[in-house]
Structure 1
Amino acid sequence: MKIFKLPDLGEGLQDAVIREWHVAEGETVAVNQGLVTVETAKALVDVPSPWSGTVEKLYAAKDDTIDVGQPLVGFVEEKAEQSTSVGAAVGRDQPPSEEKPSDAGTVVGRIQQSGQTLGEETAPRTPVHRTATPAVRALARRLGVDLSQHQPQGERFTADEVRELAERKPKQEKEKKRPGKAPAKEASPARRAMALAMSRARDQVAPMTLCDQVDISPWWGEQSATLRLIRAVQEASAAEPNLNALYENDSLSPSETVNIGLAVDSPRGLYVPVLRDVAARSDEELLEQIEDYKEQARETGIAREDLQGATILLSNFGGMAGRYATPVVLPPTVAILGAGRVFQGVVAVDDKPAVRSLLPLSVSADHRAVTGGELARFLKALMRALAG
């Protein structure tokens, strides 16, 4: 049996959770056909088949956790199948052929030739059409919707269609009670990924944090605070590009584009999806993607490619509580901005006390990569952009 082991999916974790099998034992598959959907490091990932052939064994069941390098799928060994069929055709009592094999060698000794075919290359088959993306299938599983019993309105099911189907289910099916105390649950992939990232930050980063507050009265209550923060990070990164950078192998690499990793809280754990090249995108596009990320974090998880490529981080924790913090820098990024809860404070305006809307800011950076002066100038440019 030819064994396909769980590959390293590039998320930093050493295991994955089986969420949905797309093949069954005895089924014939083509190269690159989807075998299974797994969840690792907060993302749902489809694992394709590396070979064409017949599935002999599935080594894990749905919701099992397996380590990278462990057997995932066993394929029928073509050579074994063919040798068996050849033996059956010849028969035990058939005398061996007296025909001498031809000599195909041109150097010392002889190379025996045979007309027996050991294997035959098969063209890849067209992958099975899926009526839903991995994220939508995961949502359907959580809501108890069997998509095989329904037809999508378009080419594929959408998240809204799944929720609508869930609402149609009989009420008693959605009110199942579990008697007794629920057993402790294993940490989700999202929380394990968060723990791993925090451990890396603790071991690798030399953190420093600066705090200040800025008067945002001119626009507070009329504009999106998150959008203003994104644009302020964009301007501050132009002023101090070394904070919009990656620090790897003792080398600092400033980024040409501002790709903001936006911390999103959810019951599943912390997600940090990326808003790419914010300078090239309109305010409406950014706000729409932020809402999409928030919904995905709550309902389905966020795709792996959307969690990669951040060059600077933003945590708007003030939407819940807290004024100041010491945000944790996640390597290889260099800096993270934390925005606290807006409060009414007394400040001097034209040498007189006045009550104004103040936004607390906390900026952490990796002191291995940038100086305190660079961090202070970044914060100054950030405050100037927010006050305007």
Structure 2
Amino acid sequence: MGGGMSTATGTLDFLLPDLGEGLTEAEIVQWRVAVGDTVTVDQSVVEVETAKAVVDVPCPYAGRVVALHGAAGETRPVGQPLITIAPLDGAGEAAGPARAGEPAGHATYREEERAGSGNVLIGYGTGHGATGRRRRRPRLALAPDPAPTATPAPAVVAPLPVPASARASAPAPGAALVISPIVRRLAREHGIDPATLRGTGPGGVVRRADVEAALAAAPAPAPSAAPPPGLSAAPPAPTRLAPVPGRPESADPAGGDLVIPLTGIRKVIADKLSRSRREIPEVTIWVDADATALVETRRAINAATPDEPVSILALLARICLSGLRRFPQLNAHVDTEGQRITQSAGVHLGIAAQTDRGLVVPVLRDAQRLTTRELAAALAETTAAARAGTLPPARLTGGTFTLNNYGVFGVDGSTPIINHPEAALLGVGRIVDKPWVVDGQLAVRKVTQLSLTFDHRVCDGGVAGGFLRHVADCVEQPALLVANV
């Protein structure tokens, strides 16, 4: 955590700290304090979104808030002032167990926030003031009124009525509601209280589809009059470009294009994939494999120990680790500045996972040290945490090889982009019944397509083909893995 003393005023500036490897900025999601509030040491004062996670930032100082540097939706660089604190006599005790006027339970809620692992609280759902304490992000208006007019009074956006079919049935007061950040934000921007929705996710979790269903079923809100003095205005709706004359009307009710800022994780994905395409001369090779024996092996393992199930993905991860042991050239990265190739001693296995916030690649460090059952447990825990948004930034960097199971989307094949700066990525398509020749006879088998995208700078086709053939052979004959364990 960084900070500095302003000698002229005796105040303390808390600087935005380094929140993870390679992160240089963060976008303010919402302030948890206001000017004039009293804060204690390590109290969470702001929620920010980095390229890798949504993070609650605790303040290392106690005292009264003098200034907040930046509004919701604004991006702040690391090392710049975030909040200014004026120390109090006996600072830290003035705040007490709860702030004045704070609803019961908020002090406990703040303690829970501070107790979170690494203060990363993405996807938390305690329900304490979940709708009242969050603010909407400002949007850019790219299509202002052509005629200059006097500044209109701010408009109040009334919450959308939620249809009965989407409402939860008599939710318990104060019941916990666990939803992802993007779902909470979507609900907030449309004035929907997530507690009124019936969650269709595991355990009743409210998903993005539940919010979108409520939006689709809700009648269009009538324009509201200007608010009385003293009421704050809601931020403008998402930016829309004015419709072009002669262009057919779009499906959007406003008749214009929807403009979505390229920020946060989407911006990082765009930058990283573009850099990969620019720097890495990648080649993709693929092969079809008979996965019947692999499916049967998994069934036999899980029948023997049903309380410790092993997934197909875990078996594929084990096969990749076997292949990288034989072909370590693919467990590497190219240092363009140093003009050298570095082969990693350990396999830090990245697993591509689709989340509500976008594509992320959580990493299992030193995966070669794990047994197959440990791999299965680690994969299940890691992918679940990635989708819930609870992984710290350190778990999303440092991979040396990536496994991408795009077959879960019903896709047979792909030519994926390498996760820079890694040197290779194995893609796995869906496993489907197909006609296959076995011992000269046509049979129906479980077939999948395996693709390997590799950096041609680290190896040539012989190494890449050898690795992919080894993977395919192990898929078709899982007993070959025993020789390498």
Is the pair's TM-score, using the shorter chain for normalization, greater than 0.5?
yes
Measured in 2, the distance between the counterparts of 1:262 and 1:366 equals 18
Letter in 1 for 2:67: K
Letter in 1 for 2:421: P
Aligned-partner SS, 2:178: helix
The aligned residue for residue 384 of structure 2 is 295
- Judge conservation of contact 2:362–2:386 (CA < 8 Å) in 1: no
Letter in 2 for 1:25: V
Aligned-partner SS, 2:445: strand
Aligned-partner SS, 1:220: helix
Specify whether residues 27 and 359 from structure 1 end up closer, same or farther in structure 2 by C-alpha distance, changes over 3 A only. same
- Judge conservation of contact 1:3–1:73 (CA < 8 Å) in 2: yes
Q: Which has the higher contact order (CA 8 A, sep 6+)?
A: 1
**Relative to structure 2, which stretch is displaced further, 330-339 or 231-240?**
330-339
1:199 equivalent in alignment to 2:209: no
Measured in 1, the distance between the counterparts of 2:128 and 2:282 equals 42
Aligned-partner SS, 1:256: coil
Paired-residue identity, %: 31
CA RMSD of superposed structures (Å)? 4.0
Specify whether residues 374 and 354 from structure 1 end up closer, same or farther in structure 2 by C-alpha distance, changes over 3 A only. same
In the alignment, which of 246, 256, 267 is matched to residue 345 of structure 2? 256
Q: Displacement of 1:333 after TM fit?
A: 1.0
Specify whether residues 359 and 301 from structure 1 end up closer, same or farther in structure 2 by C-alpha distance, changes over 3 A only. same
TM-score, L = length of structure 1 = 0.71
Matches within 5 A, 1:172-211: 177=218, 179=221, 181=254, 184-211=259-286
1:338 equivalent in alignment to 2:427: yes
Measured in 1, the distance between the counterparts of 2:374 and 2:129 equals 33
Measured in 1, the distance between the counterparts of 2:123 and 2:48 equals 10
The aligned residue for residue 163 of structure 1 is 178
Aligned-partner SS, 1:314: strand
Letter in 2 for 1:354: A
Measured in 1, the distance between the counterparts of 2:197 and 2:49 equals 30
Deviation track 1:335-360 (CA, whole Å, cap 9, x = no partner) reads 10011122333333223333322221
The aligned residue for residue 56 of structure 1 is 66
1:318 equivalent in alignment to 2:407: yes
Give aligned pairs, total. 333
Letter in 1 for 2:48: V
The aligned residue for residue 28 of structure 2 is 18
- Judge conservation of contact 2:353–2:387 (CA < 8 Å) in 1: no
The aligned residue for residue 42 of structure 1 is 52
- Judge conservation of contact 1:45–1:304 (CA < 8 Å) in 2: no
Deviation track 1:47-90 (CA, whole Å, cap 9, x = no partner) reads 454767754211123444334455422345x9xx9xxxxxxxxx
Aligned-partner SS, 1:74: strand
Q: Displacement of 1:266 after TM fit?
A: 2.2
Deviation track 1:243-290 (CA, whole Å, cap 9, x = no partner) reads 112322432222222221100012321010012222322444433333
Q: Displacement of 1:168 after TM fit?
A: 10
Deviation track 1:283-327 (CA, whole Å, cap 9, x = no partner) reads 444333333344334433532121022110011001212222212
- Judge conservation of contact 1:16–1:67 (CA < 8 Å) in 2: yes
Aligned-partner SS, 1:131: helix
Measured in 1, the distance between the counterparts of 2:471 and 2:376 equals 20
Structure with max Cα Rg: 1
The aligned residue for residue 384 of structure 1 is 473
The aligned residue for residue 130 of structure 1 is 111
Letter in 1 for 2:291: I
Measured in 2, the distance between the counterparts of 1:332 and 1:169 equals 42
Specify whether residues 250 and 52 from structure 1 end up closer, same or farther in structure 2 by C-alpha distance, changes over 3 A only. farther
Measured in 2, the distance between the counterparts of 1:168 and 1:18 equals 22
Matches within 5 A, 1:365-376: 365-376=454-465
The aligned residue for residue 215 of structure 1 is 290
Letter in 2 for 1:323: D
TM-score, L = length of structure 2 = 0.58
Specify whether residues 137 and 298 from structure 1 end up closer, same or farther in structure 2 by C-alpha distance, changes over 3 A only. closer
- Judge conservation of contact 1:16–1:65 (CA < 8 Å) in 2: yes
- Judge conservation of contact 1:5–1:68 (CA < 8 Å) in 2: yes
Measured in 2, the distance between the counterparts of 1:353 and 1:137 equals 51
Consecutive unaligned residues in structure 1, runs of 5 or more: 82-121, 123-127, 149-159
**Relative to structure 2, which stretch is displaced further, 347-356 or 11-20?**
11-20
Q: Displacement of 1:143 after TM fit?
A: 10
In the alignment, which of 44, 65, 78 is matched to residue 75 of structure 2? 65
